[in-house]
Amino acid sequence: MIIKSADFVKSATRPANYPPGDFKEVAFAGRSNVGKSSLINVLVNRRGLVRTSSTPGRTQLLNFFDINGEFYLVDLPGYGFAKVPLAVKKQWGPMVRTYLEGRENLRALLLLFDIRRVPQQEEIQLLDWLEELQVPTIPIITKVDKITRSRRERQILPILEATGLPRDAFTLFSALTREGRDEIWERIDAALDD
């Protein structure tokens, strides 16, 4: 994928505020702080297109980005951060569920897992919804630079177990080394071609 342009379009919480579904799109979901925004920045080669933060729970809206005037990338709000107010936490499920149910131009969802964490209820919930709604899923294991190569395969066993997905379903990624970037673009391209 050659990136000619990458522009923030708008933020939204509900369908009336989404940009028109005139382009195909893929979305990014995962726990707060898992690295969704960092992944998007690496994919589009723009360090600061999407705000990243060491304070989890920064992104509490759906953020739409126009790539090359051809398709959208959508940064979904993170979940699972203890310090987020309860009222905000309660919005996450309906906000994401509504998006997944109704967004007809959505072609795939990239679901991110931190290599150091065991998936929790929200990840499993999301996987169930994706299956129910037949949204193709691209599972990514992020922050692989945090674990030495020799320990990686052992480290991801709890992720395989909790999700029930096979090892070859996952692409390993690091925003630091950019490992996995090309493979993720190939998978996004394939999803957008459908």
Residue 135's nearest CA partner among 102, 164, 166 is: 102
Q: Does 41 engage in binding with Mg ion (CB under 5 A)?
A: no
Q: Which is nearer to ligand GTP, 107 or 143 (CB)?
A: 143
Residues 6+ apart with CB under 8 A from 161: none
Q: Which is nearer to ligand GTP, 141 or 191 (CB)?
A: 141
Tokens of 3: 């990136």
Give CA–CA dist 53/35, Å, rounded. Answer: 9
Query: Which residue lies nearest Mg ion, judged by its C-beta?
Result: 37
Tokens of 134: 């037949």
3 binds, among ligand GTP, Mg ion, none (CB under 5 to 8 A by kind): none
Q: Does 33 engage in binding with Mg ion (CB under 5 A)?
A: no
Q: Which is nearer to ligand GTP, 21 or 97 (CB)?
A: 97
Select from 6, 25, 30, 59 the one that contacts Mg ion (CB under 5 A): 59
143 binds, among ligand GTP, Mg ion, none (CB under 5 to 8 A by kind): ligand GTP
Stretch that binds Mg ion, among 5-13, 32-40, 120-128, 167-175 (CB under 5 A): 32-40
Near Mg ion in 72-101, by CB under 5 A: none
Q: How far apart are the first and last CA of the chain?
A: 16
Select from 33, 37, 41, 142 the one that contacts Mg ion (CB under 5 A): 37
Give residues in contact with ligand GTP (CB under 6 A). Answer: 30, 32-38, 52-54, 56-59, 78, 142-143, 145-146, 174-176
Q: From the CB of 90, what's the least distance to Mg ion, in Å?
A: 19
To which residue do tokens 């691209």 refer? 138
Cα dihedral angle (20, 28, 138, 95), rounded to 10 degrees?
-70
DSSP 77-135: PP---TTS-HHHHHHHHHHHHHHHHH-TTEEEEEEEEETTS---HHHHHHHHHHHHTT-
Q: From the CB of 61, what's the least distance to ligand GTP, in Å?
A: 10
Q: From the CB of 99, what's the least distance to ligand GTP, in Å?
A: 15
